[in-house]
């Protein structure tokens, strides 16, 4: 992909004060919490969307909400852009900085503050990793439901920013369905509490607005999330089909029948081969598409649910039905799926798309996706959350070949447009960031975008929070 993507022009009044800004930040935070030497800034110049890189002016790593507030108050006073950063696992460029920006990283805010089983909640700092919540409460029979593939590394703050999902979001919902409250630092340093341990709040749903806002309305410093009791049992089952179209149609009919498994994950043949070579999970290699369907509950409940799913699968010509026979086998099945992105990176560079489509259009969109990548002379591996139509085609290319990279970017844009034209949207869980910023007009009218930007301006009139992201650069209100 090209390095020519546009950012907002650096603010000269900020660049000219760099030394003074660094000195002031050092007065606000402990010395180990301020990074400003060029070589030490390199790890923060990009995120998992590695095609674009910019060195920030400086990086701050606060440890407390009060320190976040102090940094925001200072940056607001002097008009210094701030780019929030969790673990840097964003696949849309959401945490890429610019030369006049302070990166505000949450990695040192990694404490679980309270676990309240009576109310089935956990309150955590925003730098806590997704998986660590489930690990902390698992011994007591609870877990935190959203489970992105990057859950070992990604943080709750980043999950809230992108409204992340995961394999089990089909039954349990994405981040917004499991988020009860946040402590957020506004652009001027004011600290506000939205929501809490209760299930609903009076007035506007500001918590719903913040979740998925990509760090443009404030800095989430703490979060209260819902804990769920572990099911009595869980069983993943592999369903192999001759074609992707048959697998897609099967998914549509499963959901249409009223059966809601805990997860339905999809892999096409290239993805199956890539993941099996890495994880040795026992995936069938003689099929064109694979569904991983997980059911949960008592043994009788799982048997009954699976019987209905198998009946539907047979109507769509299923070739293979293989139930996991042990906890080890179940773990391997999920290891293969959750390692898909990393496993693909072993064999090629790739762009991971993130469009969402109505379930009734799955088969159509899968077919058209292959036609699009074929027309650009590229390969694609499809692996995604089939149950809610959140597609993740991985477009394989050579990042060292500028022409190949440009073709991959163009193919990705066409696939995202296809998702919108099929009645879906540009993003299911990765956010807009930089990647989809200039496609927003394909989904929204000028009036729609103006209304969204008006809401953003109400929180951040000077547009200093993550300023080059989400909205097309032209047509923005003057800061």
Domain membership of residue 55 (yes or no) is yes
Cα(159)–Cα(152) distance, integer angstroms: 12
Distance from C-alpha of 96 to C-alpha of 112, rounded to nearest angstrom: 27
pLDDT tens by residue, 163-173: 999 989 999 99
Question: Which CATH number characterizes residue 123's domain?
Answer: 3.30.465.10
Closest CA to 267 of 428, 158, 393: 393
Same domain, 67 and 96: yes
- Confidence (pLDDT) at 17: 95
Count of residues making up the chain: 479
Q: Are residues 74 and 155 in the same domain?
A: no
Better pLDDT: 2 or 239: 239
Average pLDDT estimate for 210-227: 98
What average pLDDT does the chain have? 94
Q: What average pLDDT score do residues 370-376 get?
A: 96
For the record, the structure tokens of 351 come out as: 């762009």
Mean pLDDT of the region 60-73: 98
Assign 6 a pLDDT band (cuts: 50, 70, 90): confident
Averaged over 60-84, what is the pLDDT? 98
Q: Are 179 and 159 in contact (CB under 8 A)?
A: no
* pLDDT level of residue 364 (50, 70, 90 thresholds): very high
Contact 193, 181 (CB under 8 A): yes
Instruction: Give the pLDDT band of residue 2 (cuts 50, 70, 90).
Output: very low
Q: Predicted confidence band at 3 (pLDDT cuts at 50, 70, 90)?
A: very low
Q: Which residues contact 410 (CB under 8 A, 6 or more apart)?
A: 376
Report how many domains make up the chain: 4
Q: Write the DSSP string, 384-410.
A: EEGGGTB--EEEEE-TT-HHHHHHHHH
Closest-CA residue to 179 (of 107, 125, 227): 227
- Ramachandran region of residue 389, left (φ > 0), alpha (ψ -120 to 50) or beta? left
Q: Are 64 and 57 in contact (CB under 8 A)?
A: no
The residues facing 430 across adjacent strands are none
Cβ atoms of 189 and 69 within 8 Å: the answer is yes
Average pLDDT over residues 36-60: 92
In this predicted structure, what is the pLDDT of residue 303?
95
What is the distance in angstroms between the CA of the first residue and the CA of the last residue of the chain? 30
Of 181, 196, 229, the last residue of a domain is 229
**Helix or strand run (H / E) with residue 443:** helix 440-443
* 456 domain-assigned: no
3-state secondary structure of 446: helix
What is the CATH classification number for the domain harbouring 85? 3.30.43.10
| pLDDT value for 56 | 97
> Tokens at residue 415, please?
């696939």
Section 351-373 average pLDDT: 93
Helix axes 244-256, 362-375, angle to 10 degrees: 150
Query: Does residue 250 share a domain with residue 172?
Result: no
| Mean pLDDT value of segment 454-467 | 97
Is 479's pLDDT higher than 80?
no
Which percentage of the chain shows pLDDT scores above 90?
89
How do residues 105-164 score in pLDDT, each as one tens digit? 999 999 999 999 999 999 999 999 999 999 999 999 999 999 998 999 999 999 999 999
Last residue of a domain, one of 277, 311, 341: 341
Cα(4)–Cα(20) distance, rounded to whole angstroms? 30
343: part of which helix (H) or strand (E)? helix 340-345
Same-domain pairing of 145 and 209: yes
- Examine the domain organization and report whether 129 and 37 are in the same domain: no
* Predicted local distance difference test score (pLDDT) of residue 214: 97
pLDDT of residue 355: 94
Q: In this structure, are 98 and 78 located in the same domain? A: yes
Across the range 188-205, mean pLDDT stands at 91
Residues 91 and 130 in one domain: no
pTM of the model: 0.93
- 423, two tokens: 């009645």
Cβ atoms of 1 and 407 within 8 Å: the answer is no
Distance of CA 180 to the CA centre of its chain: 19
pLDDT tens for 133-144 read: 999 999 999 999
Domain boundary among 174, 205, 229: 229
Proportion of the chain above pLDDT 70, given as a percent:
99
Q: Could you list the residue range(s) of the whole structural domain that residue 64 is in?
A: 12-105
């Amino acid at each position: 992909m090209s390095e020519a993507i546009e950012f907002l022009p650096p603010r000269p009044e900020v660049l000219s004060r760099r030394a003074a800004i660094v000195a002031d930040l050092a007065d606000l935070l402990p010395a180990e919490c301020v990074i400003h030497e060029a070589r030490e800034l390199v790890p923060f110049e990009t995120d998992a969307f590695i095609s674009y890189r910019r060195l920030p002016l400086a990086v701050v790593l606060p440890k407390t909400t009060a320190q976040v507030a102090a940094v925001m108050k200072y940056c607001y006073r002097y008009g210094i852009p701030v780019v929030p950063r969790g673990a840097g696992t964003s696949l849309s460029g959401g945490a890429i900085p610019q030369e006049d920006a302070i990166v505000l990283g949450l990695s040192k805010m990694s404490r679980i503050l309270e676990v309240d089983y009576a109310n089935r909640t956990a309150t955590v700092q925003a730098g806590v990793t997704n998986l660590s919540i489930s690990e902390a409460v698992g011994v007591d029979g609870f877990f935190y439901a959203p489970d992105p593939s990057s859950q070992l590394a990604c943080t709750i703050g980043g999950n809230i920013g992108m409204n992340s999902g995961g394999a089990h979001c089909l039954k349990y919902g994405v981040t917004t369905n499991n988020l009860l409250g946040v402590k957020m630092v506004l652009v001027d340093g004011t600290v506000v509490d939205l929501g809490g341990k209760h299930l609903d709040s009076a007035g506007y749903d500001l918590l719903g607005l913040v979740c998925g806002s990509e760090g443009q309305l404030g800095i989430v410093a703490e979060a209260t999330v819902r804990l769920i009791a572990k099911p009595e049992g869980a069983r993943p089952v592999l369903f192999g089909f001759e074609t992707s179209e048959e697998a897609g149609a099967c998914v549509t009919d499963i959901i249409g029948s009223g059966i809601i498994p805990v997860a339905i994950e999809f892999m096409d043949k290239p993805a199956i081969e890539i993941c099996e070579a890495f994880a040795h999970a026992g995936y069938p290699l003689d099929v064109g598409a694979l569904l991983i369907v997980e059911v949960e509950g008592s043994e009788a409940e799982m048997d009954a649910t699976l019987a209905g799913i198998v009946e539907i699968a047979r109507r769509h010509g299923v070739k293979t039905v293989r139930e996991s026979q042990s906890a080890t086998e179940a773990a391997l099945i999920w290891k293969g799926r959750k390692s898909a992105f990393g496993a693909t990176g072993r064999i090629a560079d790739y762009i991971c798309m993130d469009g969402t489509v109505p379930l009734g259009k799955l088969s159509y969109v899968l077919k058209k996706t292959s036609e699009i990548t074929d027309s650009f002379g590229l390969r694609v591996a499809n692996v995604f959350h089939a149950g809610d139509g959140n597609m993740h085609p991985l477009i394989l290319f050579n990042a060292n070949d500028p022409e190949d990279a440009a073709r991959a970017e163009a193919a990705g844009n066409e696939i995202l447009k296809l998702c919108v034209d099929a009645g879906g949207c540009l993003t299911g869980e990765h956010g807009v960031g930089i990647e989809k910023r200039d496609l927003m007009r394909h989904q929204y009218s000028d009036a729609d975008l103006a209304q969204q930007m008006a809401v953003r301006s109400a929180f951040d009139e000077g547009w200093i929070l993550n300023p080059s992201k989400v909205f097309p650069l032209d047509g923005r209100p003057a800061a």
